[in-house]
Amino acid sequence: MAPRDLAIGMVFLVETLAGILGNSSLLLHYLILYFTGCKFRLTDLILKHLTVANVLVILSKGVPQTMAALGMKHFLDDTGCKLVFYVHRVSRDVSIGSTCLLSVFQAITISPTCSRWMGLKVKAPKYVGPSTILCWILNMMLNVMVLVHVTGKWQNNNITRKMDYDYCSAISHGKITDLLYIALLLFRDVVFVGLMLWASSFMVFILYRHKQQVQYIHALSHRSSPGSRATQSILVLVSTFVLLCSLSSILQFCLAFFSIHKMWLVKASALIAGCFPTVSPYILMSYDSRLPTHCLPWIIAAKSSVL
């Protein structure tokens, strides 16, 4: 194995292990919050779906890409390639949709308690569960085309219009069909990113106005309120997502429209696509202080009862 391939494989391996560790820790964090009786926020259900989607992204993209980078390129047959790519595309799109829902519902949560926003704030908790389920269903339907386009590397060798993904291949079924499908997915992503930017701008405005109104409180205490910390974590999460999504979209655009099928570009695109699922749990846990501040008495009491 060439040293360059070994280095790329180790990078993918580190990213995959860090992502699995981070998302597993976040799920364990929510499990501890549940068993210790801590109060859940409106957005916690969305965060759980986001974490599950991130785990599936890492398992369906990071693990195969790591194996391929380390020299194991023919470990999936035609059915395995279709399944792995389908799970990756669905979970990736659910991650995008969940991040969008997260920013929108958090914006509703911190909105002012005036008559114009009160109706949304009261109704919002009822729509969190159905919205996350609908996000899964819609993305499962939209990505059915993946099952048609993706195939094993050794399948259909006589077809020239295919893209090599190192361990699987994607077959083109006509330029017009591909363009229409890409346009549909691009429109959906643009809508989601637009909603994220709107919600993030609204949250920044609300936080700034709130800070101006309560400056005398911050002069006495330097700690942020739990709601403010939750909003800050979502703002950092959305900013990270928009940056990485933009880079990934540029690379995907080059691969799709300019016929640049160089393997280093495919690997760079896969590496960037795995960055958000890897770093997002660490961002969320760094801003969530509920466990040490609110649940510590419960944990101490539980230990005392055991002793």
Identity of residue 54: N
Q: Which tens digit of pLDDT belongs to each residue from 96-111?
A: 999 999 888 888 888 7
Write out the DSSP string of 88-157: HHHHHHHHHHHHHHHHHHHHHHTS--SHHHHHHHHHHHHHHHHHHHHHHHHHHHHGGGHHHHEEETTS-T
Determine the pLDDT at residue 261: 55
Residue 16, both tokens: 């995959």
Say yes or no: domain 3-152+166-293 is CATH 3.30.70.1170. no
- Are 275 and 241 in contact, with CB atoms under 8 Å apart? no
* pLDDT reading at 126 higher than 60: yes
> Using the 8-state DSSP alphabet, how is residue 42 labeled?
T
| Lowest mean pLDDT, pick from 17-21, 35-39, 130-134, 231-235 | 35-39
pLDDT digits (tens, 9 = 90+) for 204-253: 887 777 666 655 444 444 445 556 777 788 888 888 888 887 787 777 76
What predicted TM-score, i.e. pTM, was given to this entire model? 0.81
pLDDT-based confidence at 301, cuts 50/70/90?
A: very low
